[in-house]
Amino acid sequence: MDSNSSRPSGREVADYISSGLVDFFYSSDLTLKTRFPQLYVYDICLTRFGDYHQWMAFLDPDEYLVLQPRAAAEGLPEFLQAYDQHGGLAVNLRIFGSSGYQTRPKGGILRNYIKCLPEQHEENRRIKTIVNTALSPALHMHSVNHVKFKDGFFAVDEAQRHLKTGESATARVSTEKVAVHKYPLRVAPARAASKAKGGDSKARFEALDREATEECLGGKRVAQQDSSDKYGM
């Protein structure tokens, strides 16, 4: 998906496109088609390519889906088997602060950023949905957090609690088995605010950073189990 980026990604994956391995979608100006370009692209993924997969997650570049120690699974495919009768799995966020870094350190995000908000913090109630596309349960993306399901389908959290269609947050945070680790402060709060879209401000980022007092080591454990640098984004 390339919405007129300054460095067209099609050139980077041209060989994969010609081989048929990659499907490439380009739009010169998504704002002509919709007020919400991100949701428009998500809908394309869901409706055109959902049948290619059993599950489809919708994550931002600063988000990582991390299995926690209590997941009791070797990997995500095995973990998701426990939820394959539902329309989707709603995964709570676990938001991280800057961990004291003014600039991004070497060694990767997951290895270095460990200071996070307390589990039941209001910000962590938000969810990201992994859609069970094998059941074709979704009508369209309702927001970047959740989907609008067909009648009879719904998402559940990791504890199998039902979420109503339209809910983008859970009443209680549950991240014992899986969480979406979100790193909005990969740089100092002032710099993060200058790069942020929407209404995110320096004051909000500074407040998040102050409140990120707990240590979350799940991401670090995942990174240390892998000898490559694929987590060093």
HEC-encoded secondary structure of the chain: CECCCCCCHHHHCHHHHHHCCCCCCECCCHHHCCCCHHHHHHHHHHHHHHHHCCCEECCCCCEEEEECHHHCCCCHHHHHHHHCCCCEEEEEEEEECCCCCCCCCCCCHHHHCCEECCCCCHHHHEEEEEECHHHCCEEEECCCCCEEECCCCCEECCCCCEECCCCCECCCCCCCCEEEEECCCCCCHHHHHHHCCCCCCHHHHHHHHHHCCEECCHHHHHHHCCCCCCCCC
Output the pLDDT for position 9: 80
Output the pLDDT for position 178: 98
Output the pLDDT for position 131: 94
Output the pLDDT for position 110: 94
Task: Encode pLDDT of 69-87 as tens digits.
Answer: 899 898 999 999 999 999 9
Give the mean pLDDT of 200-228: 86
Task: Encode pLDDT of 147-196 as tens digits.
Answer: 888 999 999 999 999 998 778 999 999 999 999 999 998 765 555 556 55
Task: Encode pLDDT of 21-34 as tens digits.
Answer: 988 888 777 665 66
